[in-house]
Structure 1
Amino acid sequence: MVVESDGLLDESSLVAAPLPQEAVHVRLDVPRKDDLADLVFLANNKTVAANLAMMPHPFTLENGRALIARAAQVRKNTGLFAIRLKSTGRLIGVAKYAALEEDGTVHVGYWLGEPFWGRGYATEAVHALVDHAFTHHDMDELQGSCRVTNPASRRVLVKSGFQYRDQAMIRSIGAGGSVPIERYVLDRTVWKSLKGWGQGQ
């Protein structure tokens, strides 16, 4: 899940838009101070960090506090959310979108704590994230990427309507160097045609 979330999400913030974003099993809403213990426990995982661009390992209380503080900032074409289980309200990961390049290209990022992998939660979260981005902002497309060695993240992007664009190299703090990634794109017009995704599941 590389740029699934850049861990610290330096360019991210919570937009002033309606919350929470509901899915079948998860919802996206504001990361809070009382999420700190869960956030640090789940993010402080070498396997998670190695699949992301900017997440440090170890992930400390200070990193967690910084992420929560960033969520209070407001920026154009940007959103930072806690991924929560609807059944319990507990934080299980983080999802975001932000303009990470000078050209204004908006990237999606996400990660889930390892105990929650393989249950479809990431796909639900990315669907809600994409819906939020296109509904409340004016970008024409979203980009996402994953490590070449991360088929689970590739499936999340494809199931969310993203289409393969190319391969590249990025620096991953958690992996300790440059790693190959696949880059994907989702156009607003494609999103509109897929807007009924997830219904009836």
Structure 2
Amino acid sequence: MASLRDALPATIRTARLVLATPTLDHVPQLARLANNRRIYDALSRLPNPYGEADARFFVHTIARGSEEWAYSILLDGSFIGSIGLHLLPDQLPALGYWLGEPFWGHGYATEAATALVAATRSTGLTPALCARALLSNAASRNVLAKVGFIETGEAIDEHGTQAGRRVATMRMDFER
């Protein structure tokens, strides 16, 4: 049986965006945008400060590693954020994303998430996706709701930089 990572496309195009394999060309902008305390405060697996060495490590090791299938979000060819699936054995794929602060509020996160959800659904290889967002992050919770995720509860984050903080757990079931 094909794996989800093998079935997902390397590139996804939307009306305004391209979701593409992260490359070293994205490193300078990735590092500049990710080195932002507001982004660090919302994500559980992002170092702070975030420099070009962190961005290169992301591109080489994490983005298409055994537990991730990440895309660079490109607008007019420029890196503006990242979106992907966290793929752990015996768990639903978890959607995660972030955008550089100058790109907040323009619908890019919703557009990118809608495209990745559609690509994932079209594989037929998972019955659902999950996601989570800090309870205090209304913008991210709204993006996920617009895409079709339903809040299923609350939890205390146990890992990473968000350990001890309250998160909304979310799920999207695919119709078969």
Normalising by structure 1, report the TM-score: 0.78
Q: Which has the higher contact order (CA 8 A, sep 6+)?
A: 1
Query: For 1:40-80, what per-residue CA distance to the aligned partner results, in whole angstroms no more than 9, with x for missing partners?
Result: 000111110110111111112221111101334467xx521
Amino acid across the alignment from 1:126: A
CA contact (8 A) 1:97 1:133 kept: no
Q: State the SS of the aligned residue for 2:56.
A: helix
The match for 1:110 among 84, 97, 108 is 97
Amino acid across the alignment from 1:123: T
Q: Distance in 2 between matches of 1:130 and 1:119?
A: 19
- CA 1:59–1:113 in 2, change beyond 3 Å: closer, same or farther? same
Does the alignment pair 1:95 with 2:87? no
Equivalent residue number for residue 164 of structure 2? 178
Amino acid across the alignment from 2:102: P
| Number of residue-to-residue matches in the alignment | 172
Equivalent residue number for residue 19 of structure 2? 28
Q: Distance in 2 between matches of 1:105 and 1:74?
A: 15
- CA 1:55–1:126 in 2, change beyond 3 Å: closer, same or farther? same
Where structure 2 has 5 or more consecutive residues not aligned to the other structure, the ranges are: none
Amino acid across the alignment from 2:168: E
Amino acid across the alignment from 1:66: F
- CA 1:66–1:166 in 2, change beyond 3 Å: closer, same or farther? same
The match for 2:56 among 40, 48, 65 is 65
- CA 1:54–1:172 in 2, change beyond 3 Å: closer, same or farther? same
CA contact (8 A) 2:32 2:51 kept: no
Normalising by structure 2, report the TM-score: 0.88
Please state how far the C-alpha of 1:19 moved relative to its aligned partner: 3.6
Equivalent residue number for residue 140 of structure 1? 127
- Aligned-residue CA RMSD (Å): 2.2
- CA 1:19–1:140 in 2, change beyond 3 Å: closer, same or farther? same
Query: For 1:118-144, what per-residue CA distance to the aligned partner results, in whole angstroms no more than 9, with x for missing partners?
Result: 000000010111112222360111001
- CA 1:137–1:37 in 2, change beyond 3 Å: closer, same or farther? farther
- CA 1:33–1:186 in 2, change beyond 3 Å: closer, same or farther? same
* Higher deviation after alignment, 128-137 or 166-175: 166-175
Does the alignment pair 1:83 with 2:73? yes
CA contact (8 A) 2:154 2:166 kept: yes
Where structure 1 has 5 or more consecutive residues not aligned to the other structure, the ranges are: 1-13, 193-201
Amino acid across the alignment from 1:20: T
